[in-house]
């Protein structure tokens, strides 16, 4: 039994050969569990046609450094994972704001945007929400401004794997540092004691991280968790 897919791809890059080479490596790694047909690495278009079937592939625009296309096709339900994993594999060769939308009929849409050589996956969007990454940053900035007063807002140009949301001290003489940061690329909240990682709360997606953590950030909750995790890790005496 198969599924019906609609994929929209918008890529910006410096060297299309890098994408071709990364796709070749991806296909070689995945060939033991996925069947690829029409394997042709002669051009960027034919390379994309290995992942997005040529029978439905439509190149809408292409320059030396950009390509936009869409593809409607039938395939197994697992092929959506192949497409998303491929996009993650080539992300290091793509410029920021390169984007893929993978829509599966009767299941919904998943949107991935490249930030700093990695893919940030957004909500399974059925509504016209703003960019999910910016929405997450807005939540963090609102919390920081409320908790710490005037602060410089985080933007997509910052290191999205290390967005600081708590820094304080612990101990009779405040001799220990306590830190918490958010990783918007790998969907985690990381807890540190004296600079050492004591725990990571990980989430399945940016939506999951937003709904279960970022939407309701609380300083006391973060601080209490930090000390509990430090105790469990044996970092706090």
pLDDT in tens, 167-200: 999 988 888 999 999 999 889 999 999 999 999 9
Task: Provide the pLDDT for residue 130.
Answer: 55
Note whether 190 and 196 are within 8 A (CB).
no
- Whether pLDDT at 6 is above 90: yes
Note whether 177 and 192 are within 8 A (CB).
yes
Could you state, in order of their start, the residue ranges of all structural domains in the chain? 2-121, 132-232
* Architecture, CATH, for domain 2-121: 2-Layer Sandwich (3.30)
Task: Provide the pLDDT for residue 115.
Answer: 80
Distance CA 24, CA 26 (A): 5
Element (H, E) at 75: strand 66-76
CB-count exposure of residue 144 (10 Å: 0-12, 13-18, 19+): buried
pLDDT in tens, 60-90: 999 999 999 999 999 888 899 999 999 999 9
Distance CA 51, CA 34 (A): 11
Helix, strand, coil % over all residues of the chain, rounded to 5: 35, 30, 35
Tokens of 76: 């197994």
């Amino acid at each position: 039994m198969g599924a019906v897919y609609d994929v929209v791809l918008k890529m910006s890059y410096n060297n299309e050969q890098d994408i071709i080479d990364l796709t070749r490596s991806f296909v070689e790694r995945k060939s033991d569990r996925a069947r690829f047909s029409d394997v042709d690495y002669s051009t960027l278009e034919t390379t994309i046609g290995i992942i997005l079937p040529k029978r439905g592939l439509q190149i809408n625009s292409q320059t030396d450094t950009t390509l936009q296309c869409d593809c409607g096709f039938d395939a197994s339900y697992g092929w959506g994972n192949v497409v998303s994993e491929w996009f993650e594999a080539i992300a290091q060769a793509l410029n920021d704001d390169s984007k893929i939308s993978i829509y599966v009929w009767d299941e919904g849409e998943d949107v991935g945007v490249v930030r700093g050589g990695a893919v940030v996956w957004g909500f399974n969007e059925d509504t016209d929400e703003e960019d999910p990454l910016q929405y997450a940053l807005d939540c963090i900035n609102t919390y920081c401004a409320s908790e710490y007063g005037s602060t410089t807002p985080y933007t997509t140009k910052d290191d999205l794997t290390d967005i600081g949301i708590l820094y304080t001290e612990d101990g009779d003489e405040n001799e220990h540092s306590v830190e918490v940061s958010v990783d918007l690329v790998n969907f985690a909240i990381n807890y540190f004691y004296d600079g050492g990682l004591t725990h990571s709360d990980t989430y399945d997606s940016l939506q999951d991280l937003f709904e279960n953590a970022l939407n309701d950030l609380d300083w006391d909750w973060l601080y209490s968790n930090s000390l509990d995790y430090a105790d469990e890790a044996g970092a706090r005496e």
